[in-house]
Amino acid sequence: MKILFENCTLPLSGGACFAVEGEFFVPARPPYDRRVDLGGACVLPAFPDAHSHILAYALSLLQADGAACSTAQDFLAAAEAFAREQGLGQGELVTVKNAQALPEQGALDSARPIHVQHVSGHAGVFNAAALRLLGLPADMGIAQEKTYLAATKRVPMPAFEAVGRTFQAAQRAYLAHGMTTAQEGFLSREMFPLYRRLLAEAPPLPDIVAFPSPDSYDEACRLFCAAPRFCIGGVKIFLDGSPQLKTALLREPYEGGGMGAQEMTPAQVYEACRFAAARGAQLLAHCNGDGAARILLGALARLCAKGRRAIRPVLIHAQILGDDQLDEMARLGAIPSFFPAHVLHWGDTHLKNLGRMRAQRISPARSALERGIPFTLHQDTPVCAPDPLEGARCAVQRRTASGEDFSCQAIGAREALIALTQNAAAQYGDARKGRIAPGCRADFVVMEGDPLDDLNSARVAATWLRGAPVYERTAQPRRP
């Protein structure tokens, strides 16, 4: 069936109509089987998710929310309220997510096992009951980075039926925000059995692109080669931590001292690059600080140009970068994927940790734009909601929660939307997505309001995937 969508505006491609036949956009030439009047609505390409963790988001829907907690008693109360709501037994562990600051372990004294996770996902604390339950050292205290991630692998997985429900809910949330391609930003080997079962139960609605570590990449490709709408997109490595926790690796010290956490040696990073190049696999590198970026760029410079093109390297987060490093990224063909929501949510923390000059440059999108670097924007869900338009607003407005002005790196609304659409598709190397043009896949969003005119009020009214409606704001998502 050939459908003409008319009476609309296409701000990124121009025109007032477009046509869809089957799963693809086609030239808007008659005859048509059906005509749809969009009432003057703004239409954008759907948003390929530049970086998030969709399964972690699904699991977070089975955790207590500690965003409003400030004391140990607040966390204890949140855990108990959640346990009552979910009907959990006294010996069952409760994870409290979104902690802005972690309480001391001793202050979480309770018969119930409790795990409090920092909002960054890079640190957490387990009370004594949780340490005993998980077989962790009694003196662990607040754990960060590798120590913390290793500890979380011992946290029991919720019942499969519950995970299945929230995995479907996570997909609906992504579609409701206009994302028809989702990312599994780190597919650990421990996640393989769960993902295989989830995919066997029902194919996902959006495409899901996953990135395992180099040591499990080959196994992941073998296990998921035939999975519907789920593919292995490349490899993921972690070079440092988080700037909120002062664990992002810097070239110059934090205010008060410390250089951050180095998670890989230069030799290990280079070997990961060589591994990816040998397989023609994309390389995603978690690099928050300029010290981490220095290591990665050094490894990329050692690769031949053909190897760099093969791995299409992406600096995930790319929060703290110098202009000299952006110049080097332009030369090496590296893509920064910025996390501009940091400005709103943690910009005031960065002022304390980094000082004004470095903090104001967090996610330096304007400097990248001036150099012609095709950057993307992401939300790192579940750290932030799966709402790409929030990322666009933060990239354009660049104000902290207290009102501090970080506009020295602000970009325009059009540039932000291009980063979320065309550039995000290019990051994946997928020419079928990110544009409303004949031959591209018919993934698009109908907007309420015009994001070029007012990003604050614009929101997704409907999402179409593969030429079929999968979300309408007043209706339930449908399976194409």
DSSP 3-state of 94: strand
pLDDT at 295: 98
pLDDT at 146: 87
Q: What is the CA radius of gyration of the chain?
A: 22
Alpha carbons 300 and 294: distance in angstroms, whole number: 10
Torsion of CA 466, 468, 473, 478, to 10 degrees: -100
Alpha carbons 455 and 408: distance in angstroms, whole number: 19
DSSP state of 441: B
Token pair of 247 as six digits: 């664990």
Q: Which long-range contacts (CB under 8 A, 24 or more apart) does 450-456 make?
A: 450/9, 450/11, 450/42, 451/11, 451/42, 451/44, 451/389, 451/392, 451/413, 451/417, 452/11, 452/42, 452/413, 452/414, 452/417, 455/389, 455/392, 455/393, 455/396, 455/397, 455/413, 455/416, 456/393
Alpha carbons 331 and 319: distance in angstroms, whole number: 19
Q: Tens digit of pLDDT per residue, the chain (480 long)?
A: 999 999 999 999 999 999 999 999 999 999 999 999 999 999 999 999 999 999 999 999 999 999 999 999 999 999 999 999 999 998 999 999 999 999 998 999 999 999 999 998 899 999 999 999 999 999 999 999 889 989 998 998 899 999 999 999 999 999 999 999 999 999 999 999 999 999 999 999 999 999 999 999 999 999 999 999 999 999 999 999 999 999 999 999 999 999 999 999 999 999 999 999 999 999 999 999 999 999 999 999 999 999 999 999 999 999 999 999 999 999 999 999 999 999 999 999 999 999 999 999 999 999 999 999 999 999 999 999 999 999 999 999 999 999 999 999 999 999 999 999 999 999 999 999 999 999 999 999 999 999 999 999 999 999 999 999 999 987 555 554
What lies within 8 Å, CB to CB, of 357 at 6+ separation is none
Token pair of 65 as six digits: 């929310």
